[in-house]
Amino acid sequence: MEMKKLNLLIALLAILVTASAAGAGEMQALFDSKPRAERISLRHMIEKNAPEVKTDALKVYTGKPKFSPEKQCFDVRRTSKDGAAPKFWANFGSVYGYETCARNSQGVEECKWETLSTHSARTEVTMRSRELWNGEAEDMQLCYNFVKKEATYSLSSPFEYEVKTTGLPGVQTGFALEFTPLYRKPAAPDAAILELREFSYDQARGEFTLKLDSSASSRYWGTRFQVSVELVQDRMFDFSKGTKVYEFPISYHAGSPVITFKESDFDSDKDAAGFRGKPKRFFVKWGFKVVGSPYHTDTLIEKGRTDILQVI
């Protein structure tokens, strides 16, 4: 046992003496210049100088050098509270190195990271003047890929932009992005700008009344509501009497829409004779469009159905 310890000590001293005499640079050159099978290793030196020492537990595994992380991203959200022309940036960081793993004296594998170099990059963003409405937001993701040395972005916005990409001044790594708005993308109107207030029936006049509440803001003024009304008879199998469309201006003075109609206003009188003089039950399915707006699509907003009314 004493001889084994002595031989191991001699082997380790041989390594230190060799490294000291040659210097780190020469040792690396010696290592790189030889074929893989002939390269100097700790295991080789121990086996040569102390063959009785078991070297299986001394195996070292070195991973391929890489960036960590290879790609980094940041999410940015901007609303009307951030101003009409915000400027912001993202700083990215990564290290280049490798992982070395070896088994300890208990046979458990332990790994550690060896850093060879550190890297940083930056993306600067300038948004030219545009106006986000209340409740609107722009969501942007800024990324930098250290392997490809490439900056990327994604943007969800109510605006269509022209984007200009330039390098950063000086020796900074990264890019500057400049977004110039071209136009606002038409979007579906806010479903909450028109709500049901009341659905009623006047027995004496034989007339239905649908009262709505409008909360359309000034950006809708000068356009029009098209309200779609489908009268449905509530039976074992619901029966549609037909659909009519009513149009109303949207302005500061226009007020909220009030729609009156009779059963006979609708196209279908199918099976009407069999129900004359008998109580009937009706409800309305309704929705609306905003037409004549450069900012909104004419998408039909389905608002659902009213309560059921019984009429005679």
pLDDT at 43: 53
Domain co-membership, 175 together with 241: no
Q: Would you say residue 275 lies in a domain? A: yes
Contact residues for 106 (Cβ-Cβ < 8 A; gap 6+): none
Domain co-membership, 35 together with 91: no
For residues 208 and 241, the answer to whether their CB atoms sit within 8 Å is no
pLDDT range class, residue 134, cuts 50, 70, 90: confident
Of 198 and 102, more confident: 198
pLDDT at 62: 77
pLDDT range class, residue 55, cuts 50, 70, 90: low
Nearest to 259 by CA among 194, 209, 193: 209
What is d(CA 190, CA 194) in angstroms, rounded to the nearest whole number? 9
What is d(CA 50, CA 312) in angstroms, rounded to the nearest whole number? 110
Of 49 and 56, more confident: 49
Q: What is the mean pLDDT of residues 104-116?
A: 88
Q: Would you say residue 61 lies in a domain? A: no
**Percent of the chain, pLDDT > 90?**
61
**Percent of the chain, pLDDT > 70?**
77
Q: What is the mean pLDDT of residues 2-23?
A: 48
pLDDT at 54: 53
Q: Looking at 6-10, 19-23, 183-187, which range is the least confident one?
A: 19-23
Domain co-membership, 36 together with 78: no
| Domain span including residue 32 | 2-55
Helix (H) or strand (E) holding 214: strand 207-214
Q: Which of 142, 166, 184 is the last residue of a domain?
A: 184
Q: Would you say residue 60 lies in a domain? A: no
Domain co-membership, 197 together with 179: no
**196-221: b (≥16 Cβ within 10 Å) or e:** beebebeeeeeebebebebebeeebe
Q: What is the mean pLDDT of residues 76-94?
A: 94
For residues 58 and 98, the answer to whether their CB atoms sit within 8 Å is no
Q: Would you say residue 114 lies in a domain? A: yes
pLDDT at 220: 94
pLDDT at 170: 84
pLDDT above 50: residue 260: yes
What is d(CA 248, CA 226) in angstroms, rounded to the nearest whole number? 7
Domain co-membership, 198 together with 294: yes
Domain co-membership, 203 together with 299: yes
Residues in the chain, how many? 312
Q: Looking at 8-17, 125-134, 253-262, which range is the least confident one?
A: 8-17
What tokens were used for 300? 């039909």
Nearest to 306 by CA among 194, 192, 197: 197
Domain co-membership, 242 together with 302: yes
pLDDT range class, residue 107, cuts 50, 70, 90: confident
The tally of domains found in the chain comes to 3
Whole-model pTM? 0.63
Orientation of helix 2-33 relative to helix 42-49, angle to 10°: 140
H helix count then E strand count, the chain = 2, 17
